[in-house]
Amino acid sequence: MTTVGYVWVGPLEHNADYQRALLRERGAERLFEDVSAHTSTQMREHLTDALDELHAGDTLLVWRLDRLGATTSAVVSLLDLLGRRQVGVVSVADKLDTTGPDGAALLRFVAAFTDLDRRLHRERTIVGVYAARSRGRVGGRPRALSSTNVERVLMLRDQGATVREIAEALGTSRATVYRVIQDADRGAAEAQDADPAPAPAPAPAQRRTRMLRLPSIEHDAGSLPATD
């Protein structure tokens, strides 16, 4: 199990010495760092590198949760992604540890917060993208995002983030985000069209009613009893 530390330095912060020292003291074996020099952008390019280093059983260590994203939806989606990958998250200042006894309850809350229907839609979309790609149906220029960030784009989109917010959160262009979303929607549509429609249920057998024709009985007028 590996502990990976992530440092983010905002435009109003002087340096990352305090964060580096704190994370190393708490057991970080590797450090990844992003520095934002402008207030107009909060890119976290090396956060993706940190995520790619994490595997099931590993831990991502940060000073505060706001190091992980510029918006609440970005942080929540990342916690959900790491939870499904069985990667723990420790925030020192927030006293949050998803690897502890309360971690499972916290991750269940995060999963519920991200909305079940939207997560199911995202999963179908991702499956459609890979299915279309395996059939050679996805063309265009090579995508400038890793598979991790492709999934993050779709998660943020499903949580209501705008294309501009997604691009700033992932440190990429809006054109790239548009291409990811368009490819995902096209792949989902192709996957849905490829699924065979269920065969209609057989109609219930109709009961045939047989009409029995009774033989006519002719009475001889002489054999009928006389009436008064």
pLDDT of residue 1: 86
Show the tokens assigned to 210. Answer: 């047989």
CB 82 within 8 A of CB 152: no
Residues 129 and 187 in one domain: yes
Q: Helices marked H in the chain — which ranges?
A: 17-25, 45-53, 72-84, 103-113, 116-134, 147-158, 163-170, 174-194
168 found inside a domain: yes
Which amino acid is residue 132, in one-letter code?
Answer: A
Residues 82 and 123 in one domain: no
93 found inside a domain: yes
Residues 31 and 79 in one domain: yes
227 found inside a domain: no
Residues 101 and 136 in one domain: no
Among residues 113, 142, 171, which one ends one of the domains?
Answer: 113
pTM of the shown model: 0.54
CB 90 within 8 A of CB 60: yes
What mean pLDDT, rounded, does the chain reach? 75
171 found inside a domain: yes
Number of Cβ within a 10 Å radius of residue 165:
18
CB 140 within 8 A of CB 147: no
Among residues 170, 7, 214, which one has the least CA distance to residue 81?
170
83 found inside a domain: yes
Q: Which residues form the domain of 151?
A: 116-194
Residues 95 and 38 in one domain: yes
Residues 125 and 148 in one domain: yes
Nearest-angstrom CA–CA distance, 167 and 172:
5
* Measured CA distances, 211 to 215, 216, 217 (Å): 13, 15, 18
**Tens of pLDDT, residue by residue, the chain (228 residues):** 899 999 988 877 777 899 999 999 999 999 999 887 654 455 678 888 899 899 999 999 999 988 888 777 778 888 888 888 899 999 999 888 988 777 777 777 776 655 554 555 566 666 666 666 666 655 444 456 787 888 888 888 876 778 888 887 887 888 888 888 888 877 777 666 665 555 555 555 555 555 555 555 555 545 555 555
Residues 10 and 108 in one domain: yes
Residues 164 and 184 in one domain: yes
In degrees, to the nearest 5, what angle opens at C-alpha 190 toward C-alphas 187 and 194? 135
Residues 8 and 108 in one domain: yes
Residues 22 and 101 in one domain: yes
Among residues 58, 92, 113, which one ends one of the domains?
Answer: 113
